[in-house]
Amino acid sequence: MAQTTDSLAQRLLDGDRRALARAITLVESDDPAGWELVREVYPKTGQATIVGLTGAPGAGKSTLIGALTKLRREQERQVAVLSIDPSSPFTQGALLGDRIRLTDHFLDPGVFIRSMANRGALGGLSEAALQAALLMDAAGRDDVFLETVGVGQAEVDIIDHADTVVLVLMPGSGDSIQALKAGVMEIPDIIVVNKADHPLTETMVREVRAVLSLAPHGGWRVPIVKTEASRGKGVPELVERLDEHRAHIEQEGTLSERRRRNLRSEVLGICTFRMRAALEEQLAQDEEFQRLLDEVVARRLDPASAATQILRRVDPAQAEPGAGD
């Protein structure tokens, strides 16, 4: 196993596309060989620019990524795209819709495209997303575009995976403004109003500016870029804003702070995922757990009190003193 992992790691570091695909599959399936591989190549990461794109369904995120990829390839940069798709309710696999819309780049050896199922993650990202981005980074990709499933304001955890966050809005979509007001406000570094040939584009731009004016500015004022991704219009300006933001966070010294925050969230996320898996396995055949669940179902015990009793049995230090009596 060690020799196989070593060989795969070297091929990955050499930029082998098949090795990268295999490595991501190992991590996504929670194979121990995948985590060993990440351990081996991790010191070689940190070079790629990771850009997260989020927004409501239908805003044109995939088309925009395709246009960005085209421009980055013209600059002779190596590009990777990681699309977080809704999970199939039957197989838990990705539905691959985003890869279908990126077919123009399939045959380009300088572009690596991968879909990953979100597997029900509330924030639109699976636990393996950052690991996959790290592997793409280790494989020598200069730009990693990370696209989340469009689930509205619950997508806020994309901030825990990207150096620069782009929020893509669509004119005439009231849901987008509601999302801005309800928690996504602090997320974006750049806002894109796509499909800008829509008659309500200027109305949306004014609304977005009004919402942004209520937020603290800090050292970076969030720019609004109008694009028509399907025609490539406005995309060069978006690339300029991306480069400006990258230069800003490097000059201000906040890039390392962002990555420290991102990695802290990833460590805690992996801990949470593994602890839950271990707890579920431990309680699968536990008669007391089943009894407590029956009590909850019968409305004789509330869920929080049941959880407290379970935690007392599993780890007394984790239970809140006096709760659930």
Sheet holding 49-55, edge to edge: 111-117, 79-85, 143-147, 49-55, 164-169, 190-193, 224-226
pLDDT higher than threshold 90 for residue 244? yes
pLDDT at 13 over 70: yes
Of 11-20, 124-133, 299-308, 313-322, the least confident? 313-322
Task: Give yes or no for residue 141 having a pLDDT over 60.
Answer: yes
The span from the CA of 124 to the CA of 150, in Å, is: 7
pLDDT for 149 beyond 70: no
152 and 123 in contact (C-beta within 8 Å)?
Answer: no
**b/e map 126-157, b = 16+ CB within 10 Å:** bbbbbbbbbbbbbbbbbbbbbbbbbbbbebbb
Query: So what's the pLDDT on residue 39?
Result: 93
pLDDT at 183 over 90: no
**What is the DSSP pairing of strand 190-193 with strand 164-169?**
parallel
229 pLDDT tier (thresholds 50, 70, 90): very high
Most confident of 1-15, 70-84, 109-123: 70-84
Task: Please tell me the predicted confidence (pLDDT) of residue 78.
Answer: 97
Q: Is the pLDDT of residue 62 over 70?
A: yes
pLDDT value for 31: 87
The H or E element that residue 147 is part of is strand 143-147
pLDDT at 231 over 60: yes
How many C-beta atoms surround the C-beta of residue 44 within 10 A? 15
Q: How far apart are the first and last CA of the chain?
A: 50
pLDDT value at 113 more than 60? yes
**Residue 291 to residues 236, 278, 298, 300, 314, Cα–Cα distance (Å):** 61, 20, 11, 11, 16
pLDDT score at 94: 39
DSSP H or E run through 250: helix 235-252
Of residues 150 and 266, the one with the higher pLDDT is: 266
pLDDT of residue 43: 95
Mean of per-residue pLDDT scores for the chain: 82
Under CATH, which architecture does the 46-254 domain have?
A: 3-Layer(aba) Sandwich (3.40)
DSSP 149: -
User: β-strands 49-55, 164-169: how paired?
Assistant: parallel
What pairs with residue 190 in β-bridges? 166
Q: Give the pLDDT confidence score for residue 102 in this predicted structure.
A: 61
pLDDT digits (tens, 9 = 90+) for 249-291: 999 888 998 889 888 887 887 788 788 888 999 898 899 999 9
3-state helix, strand, coil split of the chain in percent (to 5) is: 55, 15, 30
> CA-CA distance, 44 to 78, in Å (whole number)?
16
Residues of the chain with CATH 3.40.50.300: 46-254
Question: Which strand (E) or helix (H) includes residue 111?
Answer: strand 111-117
Residue 215 vs residue 233, higher pLDDT: 233
Question: What count of other Cβ atoms lies within 10 Å of the Cβ of residue 308?
Answer: 18
Token pair recorded at residue 20: 């990268």
- Asked if the model's pLDDT at residue 314 lies above 90, the reply is no
| Residue carrying structure tokens 């696999």 | 93
pLDDT band at 306 (very low <50, low <70, confident <90, very high): very high
> What residues are paired with 55 via a beta bridge?
168
Q: Among 24-28, 233-237, 258-262, which range has the highest average pLDDT?
A: 233-237
**Residue 272 has what pLDDT?**
84
pLDDT digits (tens, 9 = 90+) for 37-61: 999 999 999 999 999 998 888 888 9
Record the pTM: 0.82
| pLDDT at residue 315 in the model | 74
pLDDT at site 101: 53
Extract the tokens encoding 303.
């869920």
